[in-house]
């Protein structure tokens, strides 16, 4: 079955988990390009993505992915790839086997599956680790191999649930570049994130969700303007936290830098996340700091959304 | 289209046969298979120590009776049954517990093709292990306690292997469906075990709702279940076996129906 449309369409879609609301009366028409689903935890981002891919079935309404219904996986997954948030893998498989086996399940013959496996592993820059077991991968490597699994069959729609979670700044930059490349070829890329700063630089449009409802939709600029001036808190775990704290504090966008009690990390508040992250990358490289994780502080993210949602309500 | 489905089933077989027989999930399968093998070799060892086998088990007919008892009680009604429970019930439940089912659901594979692929691979895995076990035990019993003619032994062995394959088919279909429908599959496993255990004492109408009943016509020799056994005319082979395959096929259709409606919810979502 070939696609009959270039849009991803949600027509009055609701999903209830028993009594609990997942999403309610969502109408969306997503054109090609990069679209971000942004909202706090529990806002319905993953529900929308799971509905798009048939992992969930709508309680009401209709979904069409390029004109194909998600309950037809045979047709849909020729064109759709999904990098889920589930951080689990078939036991005992190496990265290479993981991709190869699933390409064989897709129905690709050995030679094609081997070539496609190598290509996608190269694309996510995981060549050296590909013969190691996935169970021994770091969080960032697991994210990359999941991404490789989502893109290995060269889909035209790529759905990515929190794809930058757990990646260090270098890997984030690489991934964002990859998303841009894919979008430039006319693909649909749907990315979810609870960090607006993370996706605003690359998104063509943003869909803001809260408690199962779409509260804002459209051009990223409008949403970003509303956020300006609000400090973002970032949690960093690393090996030279004291040194990092002193260096980031020298940067003009840093409002506050607080060391963790165990000395293995710090919390940074910044009023300009983009400028800060650029400076942060340089500091890390210049001082050979080993980064374990970089994550925005949840409590503050919730506050940002509260702020945005309040603004939305008032306007 | 058919060749695509066939390639997809081959792809599923590649992964699943390995899971059924070469992963940690297969450990209970081997432990169960080791039980009748151990019993067989204990019987042989005891007979060797005592000096001679009991008179009822010596000679070709004695060895045939001994193996028939061993097969019925040690393999078919117990270890093979529980191996089928373990492997087939975990075909989809195991994936949910490992949180890896979504990888299959995100492939361009019809979900009923997935059912067929996973079922076939589990059937191949369990049948393979229990076929080898049956051949080893059969060979050991007949080699030690007395051998009949080769052609007669080959016929008996083939009948026992056919029973293993058919039992895997029947129990496999039932337990795969139970694993899809039931939150706690231990309960149906125990209920079916009880039902199959009392099958010999049920009225002939009720006997027909049993896997064992349809396998009776394949047994090379009958074993008495005791004085209160209710004897029923076994179903002719030409009805029993196709009927059995049709039943298993219908059960798989039911599984296919259920899997099409299935959503991915892992425990801590």
Q: Which residues pair with A296 in a beta bridge?
A: A234
Using DSSP's 3-state secondary structure scheme, residue A159 falls into strand
- Picking from B106, B47, B49, the residue whose alpha carbon sits closest to that of residue A102 is B106
Q: What are phi and psi of A301, to 5 degrees?
A: -60, -45
CATH 3.40.50.300-classified regions of chain A: 8-226
At residue A300, the pLDDT reads: 44
Tell me what ipTM this predicted complex has: 0.80
More confident residue, A223 or B103: B103
Q: Going residue by residue through chain B (269 aa), what tens digit of pLDDT does each one get?
A: 558 888 999 999 988 888 888 888 889 999 999 999 999 999 888 888 877 767 766 666 788 888 999 999 999 999 999 999 999 998 998 888 888 899 999 999 999 999 999 999 999 999 999 999 999 999 999 888 876 677 778 999 999 999 999 999 999 999 999 988 887 888 889 999 999 888 778 787 787 788 888 888 888 887 766 666 666 677 777 887 888 889 889 999 999 999 999 998 875 54
If you count residue pairs, one on A and one on B, with CB atoms under 8 Å apart, how many are there?
A: 85
Give the range among A23-27, A108-112, A135-139, B2-6 with minimum mean pLDDT. Answer: B2-6
Take residue B216 and report the two structure tokens written for it.
Answer: 């009776």
Q: Is the pLDDT at A111 greater than 50, yes or no?
A: yes
Given a contact cutoff of 8 angstroms between Cβ atoms, the answer to whether A95 and A137 are in contact is: yes
Mutation site for B-interface testing, chosen from A107, A112, A145, A150 by largest number of B Cβ within 10 Å: A107
Which residues on neighbouring strands pair with residue A37, listed in sequence order? A192, A207
pTM value is 0.80
Residues of each domain in chain A carrying CATH 3.30.70.100: 229-314
pLDDT at A1 over 70: no
pLDDT at position A275: 82
Q: How many CB atoms lie within 10 A of CB A60?
A: 12
Distance CA A190, CA A179 (A): 10
How many structural domains compose chain B? Answer: 1
Region for A282 from its dihedrals, namely left if φ exceeds 0, alpha if ψ lies in -120 to 50, beta otherwise: alpha
List CB contacts of B200: < 8 A, sequence separation 6 or more: B225, B226, B229, B230
Confirm or reject contact between A20 and chain B (CB < 8 A). no
Say how far apart CA A281 and CA A20 lie, in whole Å.
42
Task: Convert the pLDDT of each residue in A77-100 to its tens digit.
Answer: 999 999 999 988 988 889 999 999
Q: How far from chain centre, in Å, is Cα B9?
A: 21
Structure tokens at A215: 């509260």
Architecture of the domain whose range is A229-314: 2-Layer Sandwich (3.30)
pLDDT tens digits for A155-205?
999 999 988 877 778 888 888 888 888 888 888 999 998 776 677 778 888
From chain A, the residues in CB contact with B23 under 8 A are 91-92
Give me the pLDDT at residue B267, please: 59
H or E segment and range at residue A80:
strand A80-83
CATH topology for A8-226 is Rossmann fold (3.40.50)
Residues of chain B positioned with their CB less than 8 A from the CB of A161 = none
Q: What is the pLDDT of residues A236-294, one digit of tens each?
A: 889 888 899 888 888 888 888 888 888 889 988 887 777 888 888 889 989 999 888 88
pLDDT in tens, A2-19: 677 889 999 999 999 888
Q: Among A47, A56, A105, which would you mutate to test the B interface (most chain B Cβ atoms within 10 Å of its Cβ)?
A: A105
Query: Shortest CB distance from A86 goes to which of B102, B107, B263?
Result: B102
Q: How far is CA B88 from the centre of its chain?
A: 10
Domain region containing B29: 2-260
Query: What long-range pairs does A282-285 form, CB within 8 A, spacing at least 24?
Result: A283/A244, A283/A247, A283/A248, A284/A169, A284/A238, A284/A244
Q: Do B11 and A104 touch (CB under 8 A)?
A: yes
């Amino acid at each position: 079955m070939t696609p009959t449309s270039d849009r991803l369409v949600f027509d009055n879609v609701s999903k209830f988990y028993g009594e609990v609301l997942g999403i309610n009366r969502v109408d969306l028409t997503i054109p090609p390009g990069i679209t971000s689903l942004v909202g706090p935890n529990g806002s319905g981002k993953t529900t929308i993505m799971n509905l798009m891919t048939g992992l969930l079935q709508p309680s009401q309404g209709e979904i069409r992915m390029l004109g194909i219904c998600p309950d037809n996986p045979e047709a849909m997954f020729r064109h759709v790839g999904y990098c889920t948030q589930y951080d689990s893998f078939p036991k005992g498989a190496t990265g290479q086997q993981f991709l190869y086996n699933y390409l064989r399940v897709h129905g690709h013959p050995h030679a094609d599956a081997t070539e496609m496996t190598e290509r996608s592993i190269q694309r996510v820059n995981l060549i050296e680790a590909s013969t190691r077991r996935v169970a021994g991968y770091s969080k960032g490597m697991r994210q990359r191999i999941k991404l490789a699994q989502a893109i290995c069959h060269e889909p035209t729609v790529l759905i990515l649930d929190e794809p930058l979670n757990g990646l260090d700044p270098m890997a984030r930059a690489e991934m964002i570049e990859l998303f841009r490349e894919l979008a430039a070829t006319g693909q649909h890329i749907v990315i979810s994130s609870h960090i607006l700063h993370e996706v605003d630089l690359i998104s063509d449009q943003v869909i803001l969700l809260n408690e199962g409802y779409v509260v804002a939709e459209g051009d990223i600029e409008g949403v970003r303007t509303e956020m300006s001036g609000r400090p973002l808190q970032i949690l960093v775990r690393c090996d030279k936290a004291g040194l990092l704290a002193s260096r980031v504090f020298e940067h003009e966008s840093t409002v506050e830098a607080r060391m963790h009690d165990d000395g293995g990390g710090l919390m940074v508040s910044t009023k300009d996340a983009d400028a800060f992250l650029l400076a942060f990358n340089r500091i890390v490289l210049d001082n050979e700091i080993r980064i374990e994780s970089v994550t925005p502080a949840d409590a503050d993210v919730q506050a940002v959304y509260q702020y945005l949602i309040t603004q939305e309500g008032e306007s | 289209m058919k060749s695509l489905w066939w390639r997809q089933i081959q792809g599923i077989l590649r992964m699943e046969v390995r899971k059924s027989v070469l992963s940690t999930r297969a450990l209970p399968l081997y432990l169960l298979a080791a039980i009748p093998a151990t019993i067989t070799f204990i019987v042989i060892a005891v007979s060797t120590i005592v000096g001679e086998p009991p008179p009822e088990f010596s000679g070709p007919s004695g060895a045939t009776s001994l193996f028939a008892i061993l097969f019925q009680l040690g393999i078919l009604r117990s270890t093979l049954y529980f191996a089928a429970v373990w492997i087939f019930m975990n075909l989809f439940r195991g994936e949910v517990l490992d949180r890896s089912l979504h990888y299959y659901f995100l492939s361009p594979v019809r979900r009923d093709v997935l059912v067929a692929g996973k079922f076939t691979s589990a059937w191949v895995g369990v049948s393979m292990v229990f076929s080898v076990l049956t051949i080893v035990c059969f060979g050991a019993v007949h080699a030690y306690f007395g051998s009949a003619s080769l052609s007669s032994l080959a016929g008996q062995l083939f009948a026992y292997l056919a029973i293993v394959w058919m039992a895997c088919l029947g129990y496999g279909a039932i337990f795969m469906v139970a694993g899809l429908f039931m939150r706690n599959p231990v309960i149906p496993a125990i209920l079916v075990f009880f039902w199959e255990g009392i099958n010999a004492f049920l009225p002939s109408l009720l006997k027909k709702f049993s896997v064992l009943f349809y396998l009776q016509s394949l047994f090379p020799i009958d074993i008495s279940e005791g004085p209160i056994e209710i004897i029923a005319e076994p179903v002719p082979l030409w009805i029993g076996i196709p009927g059995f395959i049709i039943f298993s096929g219908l059960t798989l259709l039911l599984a296919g129906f259920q899997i099409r409606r299935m959503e991915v919810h892992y425990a801590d979502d």
